Every structure is written in structure tokens, then in C-alpha cells.
């Protein structure tokens, strides 16, 4: 157990988990103020973006060169990191369902977490883990300002704030999630 706790601390997971919990609780409490369903979707998107951004620096260890030279097969472990990031963010968001007044449905939480975790992973492979938070936060900020759009490609571009059951939003999130997980698993974080 000591090895796991050391590994998690080296990836800055405890501090990131605290940020995920605090931000989700803060946004959930705003959602308790009697806001409409559209605003709850925006709050859920913000919670997922903040959560994945907080976990982004953990996609690289303290010494990236050491990660690359290790005798371990890193692609499965890297894919596991992305899946764990999505699972943590989705789990925290979905936990608000237990309160009886959820921030978002479990399917919306899972969709947003998977898509944004993949976007963080894609950004880590392209820009490095230090800047991996930037694309998901920027995309979410733009989407929050323009709101959910209807029809074709606009639904796909605003997938984070689409209601649950929107097929194009789900397909887009899964495609971004899979592309990011594969790119990060194959390449790792840029130095």
C-alpha cells in the first residue's frame, strides 16, 4: 500500500482530488439555488472541466525522462491514467445524484468526464501536461458563453451542455475521449 500512496503523491493526486471535490460541491451548491435544467448542464460542464484540469498535471511524473526509460510497458498504464481521470470526475459528479438534487444525470456526468478527460490527454500529448488543462477549459468557457446549440455540427461542438440522450453529443464526447486516450497512451506527455 505504501508504494501506491507514494505513486499517487508523485502524480499530485491528493491535491487534485481535493480540488475536484471542492469545485464540484461549490458548483452543486450553486445549482441548489433553484436554477433551471439548462443552467445545471452548464454547471455540470464547468465541474467536469475544472475536475479534469485539476487532474491534468498528474499525467506526467516528476521526471518524464525516467518514465520513458522505465522497463514497464507504459501505453496500458497511460490509458489507465486517462480512464481513472474520467472515472474520478464522473464519480464525483454522479455522487450528487445521491443527494436527491443532482447537478447532472449520471449519463451526462459520464459523457462530459470521458470527453474532457480525453481532451486533456490529447492536449498532454500535444502540449505537455503543464498546459493540458488549457484546451478543455477554453472550449468549455466558449461553450458556456454560447450555450447549447441545436442542429448538426453545432450540437457536436457544444456537446458539454447538451441534454442527456443527445446522440451527436455522446458520439463527439466518446470520439474525443478515445482519440485522447489513444494519443496519450501511444505518445505520453510532451516534455
- CA distance linking residue 89 with residue 58, whole number of Å: 14
Residue 67 has a pLDDT of: 65
- CA distance linking residue 92 with residue 77, whole number of Å: 22
Residue 84 has a pLDDT of: 93
Instruction: Please name the residues in contact with 40: beta carbons below 8 A apart, sequence gap of 6 or more.
Output: 31, 103, 104
How many domains does one find in the chain? Answer: 1
Per-residue confidence in pLDDT tens, the chain, 191 aa: 788 787 778 778 888 889 999 999 999 998 888 778 888 899 999 999 999 999 998 888 776 666 666 667 788 888 999 999 999 999 999 998 888 888 888 899 999 999 999 999 999 999 988 899 999 999 999 999 987 888 888 888 999 999 988 899 999 999 999 999 999 999 888 87
Residue 68 has a pLDDT of: 64
Residue 88 has a pLDDT of: 95
Which long-range CB contacts under 8 A does 15-21 form with residues at least 24 apart?
A: 16/54, 16/55, 16/57, 16/58, 17/88, 19/50, 19/51, 19/54, 20/50, 20/51, 20/54, 20/55, 20/88, 20/89, 20/92, 21/92
Instruction: Please name the residues in contact with 31: beta carbons below 8 A apart, sequence gap of 6 or more.
Output: 39, 40, 43, 101, 103
Name the residue among 65, 55, 64, 38 with its Cα closest to residue 136.
55
pTM as predicted: 0.90
For residue 119, what are the domain limits? Answer: 2-187
Name the residue among 80, 81, 88 with its Cα closest to residue 57.
81
132 burial type by CB count under 10 A (0-12 exposed, 13-18 middle, 19+ buried): buried
Amino acid at each position: 500500500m505504501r508504494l501506491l500512496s507514494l505513486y499517487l503523491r508523485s502524480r499530485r493526486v491528493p491535491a487534485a482530488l481535493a480540488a475536484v471535490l471542492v469545485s464540484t460541491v461549490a458548483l452543486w451548491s450553486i445549482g441548489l439555488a433553484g436554477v433551471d435544467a439548462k443552467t445545471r448542464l452548464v454547471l455540470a460542464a464547468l465541474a467536469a472541466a475544472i475536475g479534469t484540469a485539476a487532474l491534468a498535471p498528474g499525467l506526467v511524473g516528476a521526471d518524464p525522462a525516467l518514465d520513458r526509460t522505465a522497463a514497464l510497458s507504459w501505453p496500458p498504464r497511460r490509458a489507465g491514467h486517462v480512464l481513472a481521470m474520467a472515472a474520478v470526475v464522473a464519480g464525483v459528479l454522479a455522487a450528487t445524484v445521491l443527494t436527491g438534487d443532482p447537478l447532472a444525470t449520471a449519463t451526462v456526468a459520464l459523457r462530459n468526464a470521458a470527453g474532457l478527460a480525453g481532451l486533456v490527454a490529447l492536449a498532454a500529448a500535444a502540449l505537455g501536461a503543464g498546459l493540458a488543462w488549457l484546451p478543455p477549459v477554453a472550449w468549455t468557457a466558449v461553450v458556456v458563453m454560447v450555450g447549447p446549440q441545436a442542429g448538426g455540427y453545432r450540437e457536436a461542438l457544444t456537446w458539454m451542455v447538451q441534454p442527456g440522450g443527445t446522440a451527436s453529443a455522446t458520439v463527439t464526447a466518446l470520439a474525443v475521449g478515445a482519440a485522447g486516450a489513444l494519443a496519450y497512451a501511444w505518445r505520453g506527455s510532451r516534455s
